[in-house]
Structure formats: C-alpha cells, structure tokens
Structure 1
Amino acid sequence: MSQVETKLESNVLCLTLQRPDKKNALSQQMYQQLAEALEQAAENDAVHVVLLQGQKDCFTAGNDLQDFIDGGELNEQHPTVRFLYKLAEFSKPLVAAVGGLAIGIGTTALMHCDLVYATRTTRFQLPFTKLGLCPEAASSLLLPQLIGYHRACEYLLLGEAFDGESAYRMGLVNQLVEPEQLLDYAMSKAQQLAALPAQAVQSSKHLMKANQREALQYTLREELNEFQQLLHSDACQQAVKQFFQKK
C-alpha cells in the first residue's frame, strides 16, 4: 500500500499522507512519492490544484529521523531534496489541510502553500536547533518575511511550539476549522479554486512569487549545505540518540 494516496477529483489532486501508525512521519519513500506526484501534477492539464493533507487528527510528525539519517548525502537525487525543490517551484495552487501534529516539514511545507486550513489545536513546531540542525525548506527566508525577524527567532532558534490560533494570527493559516470539518472544508476551497480559469490563477501566483524566486533558490541551497554539515555534528548525533532513547 502506498504511503501517499493520490486521488484526482474535480481538477483537484488530493495527496493524503497514509502512515498513521507512525503519525505520518515522512520516510524517503514518501518524499519520493510526493516529489513524483508534484512533478506529474505540474505537467497534467487536468490538475488545477493540489491538496496536501493527512488525517483530521494528524498532518505529519515530521521526518522519520532514522530513515532520513540512513538516506545518504543531501544531493539533488535525495528524495527529500527533490521534494523541497518541487514544492518551492510548483506553479499551480497548493492547498493544505493541517490537523493534529505539524512538526518540522509539517510546518515549513506550509510556507510554500497558497491556502492553509488548520484547527485551533493543531500543534506546529520547528524543532531544528533542538536536534542540532538548522532550518529547512527556505523557512529561514520565508518565516521572517511572514512574521518579522524577532518573532521568527522564537520558532526557528528557540524551537517553541505554537497552536492554530497563533498560526492564524501570524498569517501562516488562512482559517481555523473544527477538526470534524477540516478535510471537507479544505477540499471545498480547493474545488472552488480549481473551478476558476486555471491560467489566470497560475499567472496570478507566478506574479506574486516572482520577486522572491532567486532568493528562494539561494536559501534552499544554503540551508541544505548547512544541514548536511550539522547532521554529522556531535550535537546532532547526541540529540538524535536522546530522541530514540525517549521513544
């Protein structure tokens, strides 16, 4: 069974993370599937919008740490790297439905989405420094742009968790929805967007993103270089060891 379920309905490609027993922790296989799905969606005229979701009570707990560490060097062929670039470059609208946990990539991926819906109890966190690591997915550029440098330090340096109310106030989330309604509501918004003239929507997104494209590519490269070095640091090795001991 695929750990990323794909379903095309009313010009909306729904990508559902399907690893609930691991709180949708993203494995290299899942990153590969997500990267391929975005690549194919970009070329498929029947896809107007992509909706990314987990279950109503869990989006993703972040990386599957052991699988990630065993995944080798963070080069262009690494599934995680492929996904990050496909996400950042995606030309069509991205919608996200975020319930329960949204840790690490579960939060940074949202900075590349165009519409994000969450619940008041959704738990967001960017715990990179706690693991001896640095930001990913160009979040070191995008989060300060969104909320200002000093506020971003609370989340990227201290790694403090925050809830849906805070995410809504900072502008990371468009609207808060009751957990039982989350997935249906996000789909209805995705379908509403998909019903509009596709080229007009894509051109509008292109124009809004145009002035940051170069900076985005630069930041992705810089973060990956730093991330790769930090992965082999004593601090990271010790933090990961403690993580597995707690589990």
Structure 2
Amino acid sequence: MAGVEQQLQDGVLSLTLQRPDKKNALNQQMYQQLADALKQAAEDDQVKVVLLQGQDDCFTAGNDLQDFIDGGELNQQHPTVRFLYQLAEFPKPIVAAVAGLAIGIGTTALLHCELVYATADTRFQLPFTKLGLCPEAASSLLLPQLIGYHRACEYLLLAEPFDGVAAERMGLVNRLLPHDELLAFAGQKARQLAAMPTQAIQSSKRLLKANQQEALHYTLREELNEFQQLLQSDACQQAVQQFFQKK
C-alpha cells in the first residue's frame, strides 16, 4: 500500500517513502503521514533520531502535481504546510538517505536535515520557476546560506539539475555511497546518533539552529504566500498543462 512506512528500532524512527509506481511522488496523504509522524516523534522519548529515506534507487520525484493542485488553499491545516513546519521545528536529528530522484521537496527537505547521504548519480533539482512557482521550505533562505547567493540562483532561478558529486562538493550531502551500501550506512549513522547522550545532541542541534529560527519562520510564511498567488497565475497553469501533456 502506498504511503509512508514507519519503523522504530534502537531509538531510530525510519520514515520510508513507499510509492514506487509514482517514483515516491508525495501526495496529500503522504504529507499528512509525515507531518503526524514528526509531531509524534518530537513528543516521544523513545525516538532519538529520524531516518528519512526512499529506496536505494529513488528518494522522491517531489510533489504529486495534480494531487497538490487539487489540495486546496495553502493554509496552516494543509498537509504540505503542516509537514514543512514540523520539519523546520523538529527538535531531534534527522538523517536522510537519498538516491535516484530528489526533485523539489526531495531537495529542499534536505536543507533541514542534520546528516545527508546520497549516491553519486542522484538527480537533484529545484524546478519551481519552470512551473511558474517560487522556492519552498525556506530554501530561498537556507540554500544561499549553504552554497552562496550566485550558486543558489543557478539552481533556484535557472532550475538546473545537479548530481550527487556536485551536492557533496557544495555541502548539501555529507558523503556519497554506492547504491547497495546507502541505506545501511545511513541507518548505521542514525543509530550512532541515537546511542549518544540525548540531551546533549538535542541541545547541540538547538544551538546550531538558534540564530536562524526567526528568519526561517518569516521565510516560510513569505514563500507560502507567494507560492499560493503564483499557483493561480497563467504562467503556472500553462506550465502545469505542458507538464501533463509531456507525460
């Protein structure tokens, strides 16, 4: 059954995207599951670390575009918005294992993770402008902070794809692994974190992120407002229509 598979073991909550027939494209049901899982994990003392992953050949193709367009206004109850805020505010470490496709939210979500492992041939892309849209998930703040303004413009304005080698070079990815080692390695690192003193890890994450929290929330709000307006634009409607015709 398509959705998000949850498994808690050794203090690590694994959230596995399971929609292989759609290349793990996220629909509203999956966003709801992710948001609920993160909310519960934040409050559950048994959960020390979250591991976000797909399969060793696909992370996620991004939003299920038709489902997203049919999903209504981007208010605080919208599953996608709930997920973005839960992700941005999550107090515990998040480890990500990324392979195959990491499109849209598949890339922007990584900006909120503490450790990211990928394969060299992973395809990252932020295709928002090609769809007549703007950045999401506070990527307009976090990506320039990580890789510099001009490089961020290359990916957020031109929407050019890049591979795992480039992602590691720019600091988006901690380490590249072969496909058959990726999930096991990421899981081992997640368990390593989970075995460390809990309060020390969570305090360290809070301190590392403290100076950006106010700007992060402001950017999330501004991006969502712009995104909602752009969804109604002729340019977006035409781009979406062309997307489905191409499919």
SS in 1 for 2:7: strand
Hey, what does 1:204 align to over in structure 2? 204
Structure 1 gaps of 5+ residues are none
Aligned-pair distance for 1:70? 0.3
What does 1:109-120 align with in structure 2 at a 5 Å threshold? 109-120=109-120
Query: Is there any run of 5+ residues in structure 2 with no aligned partner, and where?
Result: none
State the SS of the aligned residue for 1:33.
helix
Q: Which residue of 2 aligns with 1:16?
A: 16
Letter in 2 for 1:21: D
Say how many residue pairs are matched: 247
**Distance in 1 (alpha carbons) for counterparts of 2:87 and 2:147:** 21
Q: Distance in 1 between matches of 2:239 and 2:171?
A: 31
Equivalent residue number for residue 224 of structure 2 = 224
Q: What RMSD over aligned residues (CA atoms) do the two structures have, in Å?
A: 0.5
| Amino acid in structure 1 at the alignment position of 2:193 | L
Alignment of 1:75-224 (within 5 A): 75-224=75-224
Q: Aligned pair 1:69/2:76, yes or no?
A: no
Distance 1:193 1:2 in 2: 29
Instruction: Specify the SS of the correspondent of 1:245.
Output: helix
TM-score by length of 2: 1.00
Q: Percent identity?
A: 80
Q: Secondary structure at the match of 2:150?
A: helix
- Secondary structure at the aligned position of 1:182 is classed as helix
Per the normalisation by structure 1, the TM-score is 1.00
Give the superposition deviation at 1:19.
Answer: 0.1
Residue of structure 1 equivalent to 2:41: 41
The reply to whether residue 240 of structure 1 matches residue 240 of structure 2 is yes
The answer to whether the Cα contact below 8 Å between 2:2 and 2:19 also exists between their aligned partners in 1 is no
Q: Is the 8 A contact 2:118 2:164 kept in 1?
A: yes
| In 2: Cα distance, 1:64 partner to 1:202 partner | 33
Spell out, residue by residue over 1:90-133, the C-alpha distance to the aligned partner (whole angstroms, 9 max, x if none): 00000000000000000000000000000000000000000000
Q: Partners in 1 of 2:198 and 2:171 — Cα distance?
A: 25
Partners of 1:93 and 1:192 in 2: CA distance: 11
Secondary structure of the 2:196 match is: coil
CA distance in 2, matches of 1:223, 1:61: 21
Counterpart Cα distance in 2 of 1:205 and 1:68: 31
Partner of 1:13: helix, strand, or coil?
strand
In 2, the alpha carbon distance for the partners of 1:206 and 1:25 equals 30
- Letter matched to residue 13 of structure 1: L
Deviation at 1:2, TM superposition (A): 5.2
Moved over 4 A (4+): none
Distance 2:169 2:153 in 1: 16
Secondary structure class of the residue paired with 1:160: coil
Q: Give the CA deviation at 1:154.
A: 0.4
DSSP-derived class of the 1:4 partner: strand
Whichever residue aligns with residue 218 of structure 1, its letter is Y
The whole-number CA distance in structure 1 between the counterparts of 2:100 and 2:66 is 22
In the alignment, the residues of structure 2 paired with residue 177 and residue 198 of structure 1 have an alpha-carbon distance, to the nearest angstrom, of: 27
